[in-house]
Homo-oligomer: A and B are copies of this chain.
Amino acid sequence: MNDTQGSIEIKQIYKIFGNGSDTALSMLKAGASKQEVLAKVGCNVGLNNVSLNIPAGKIFVIMGLSGSGKSTLVRHFNRLIEPSAGEILVNGQNVLKLAPSGLRELRRKTMSMVFQSFGLLPHKTVSDNVGYGLSLRGEKKAEVAERIQHWIDRVGLKGYEHSYPDELSGGMRQRVGLARALVMDPQILLMDEAFSALDPLIRHDMQTLLLELQTTLQKTIVFITHDLDEALRIGAHIAILRDGELVQTGTPEQILNQPADDYVRRFVEKRSQGANTPPH
Point out residues on A near B: beta carbons under 8 Å: 17-18, 35, 38-39, 44, 63-68, 70-72, 116-117, 156, 159, 163, 167-172, 174-175, 193, 196-204, 226-230, 232-233, 235-236, 251-253, 256, 266-267, 270-271, 273-275, 277-280
Q: How many copies does the complex hold?
A: 2
Contact of A199 among B66, B168, B233 (CB under 8 A): B66
Cα A203 to Cα B63 in complex, Å, equals 14
Cα A201 to Cα B269 in complex, Å, equals 9
9 pairs, CB–CB < 8 Å, chain A vs chain B: A35-B159, A117-B170, A196-B197, A200-B271, A201-B267, A229-B277, A232-B278, A232-B279, A256-B279
Contact of A172 among B67, B197, B274 (CB under 8 A): B67
Contact of A66 among B175, B204, B235, B256 (CB under 8 A): B175
Cα A169 to Cα B18 in complex, Å, equals 15
Residue contact A197 to B159, C-beta cutoff 8 Å: no
